[in-house]
Structure 1
Amino acid sequence: MAYDSRNLASLKAPDVAQVLKANRLVLVRIMTVRLLITVLLVAFSVTLSRMTESNSIFLTLPIVAGVFVFIATAYRLIYGIRVSRCARVLRDYPLEFHPRVIKKHERWTQYGNVYEVRVTTRGQHGAPLMLAVNAAGRRRWPEGVEEGGWLAGDLPFGGVLVVPGSNAMLFLKPADWDKTARKREEAGAERTARAERAKLNDRTQWAVMMRGLGA
């Protein structure tokens, strides 16, 4: 759906509590499925070994696979941190609609797909290139986000993008933290203090949220 100046004014911001609840449920489902797979692999190996009364090394392969799935699940717990950080941003910043989100590139990392995006702002030029990652752990690009999304945050520092109609939530950080340093320095005391409350004014946080890029 294309948005013009008339229907932009009538848009209703999504319910923040509902968005956070939906993303936490997605995270719980992902983790539950992975843990269930781990348990089933181990149980299959043990059961088969007892039924056949065999000590073959091949019967331990499902256990090895289960261990790898468990380790991967532990790595994915980083998404719990992402959802919590997004909740902090949504608490300190209001949601504002931006009519266009342009995806430039996409890359796979062990912690999730990371997208290079540009969030356009009506009447403004030079929007910084941002890195975006799904807060709850899904790897697919949210459908419909190119036609606009609800942004909470301050682009030189980072923020959260909520996709209309789906509750999908992307955490954003400047793609080049050093290049946007001047804009943060010129932001003023009020904007800087707000970013600090939301834990956005921190390069260490950039590395945690975008882990897998070697940041």
Structure 2
Amino acid sequence: MTRNCVIFDLDGTLADTSGDLIAAANACFDGMGNDVRLDPVADAAIAVRGARRMLTEGLTRSGRYDAALVEEWFPRFLDIYGDAIDVHTRMYDGAVAAVEALRVADYAVGICTNKPEALAQTLLQRLGVRDLFGSLIGADTGPTRKPDVAPYWAAVDVCGGRRTASLLVGDSDTDRNTALAAGVPCVLVTFSPDGQAVRALNPEAVIDHFDELQGAVGRLIGTP
């Protein structure tokens, strides 16, 4: 029997991963012999856009952008990041309690992220929260990634969710566009690097703290 379902993005939604992502990007720049640096605070919004975006930004700032260089260093970035994936990363305040409350209320919960699946698995295990989620669909789990709807539906299906009573909690235009493509509600968080700017995306709900999540979920897809 399927259940009402809440699917979460990971980076910038459940966890603040920007510090470790930027540290890995800067290590790549060191390896290139490039003295450019991304800032863990000022460039946090770039970090949650992924490795290629960070490498592109840094190389562009130094006047050395080369698409082939980005692709060459992308797998190296993944190795560097994977080796130090949880040095600075933390779950956002109230995230664990909010997920646990949804589970107690009998919602199905899962994750749909554009992080490679193996890295997402490792991170969640090290943070001690992997068992809270009935599904984890990453960027490379299937042939497409968000904002394509297929990964979202896979996350819903694997955790035993009901597609017609599901929603996506995220922090970016990628998450908003995924929800629009699926025809489901979207809840965006303001404690991510994009902050209050997510309101301009006109999601069905915006929350400033995870304490507000269950109320928003109940209004948008009902209770199990």
TM-score by length of 1: 0.22
Larger radius of gyration: 1
TM-score, normalised via structure 2 length: 0.22
Higher relative contact order (CA 8 A, sep 6+): 2
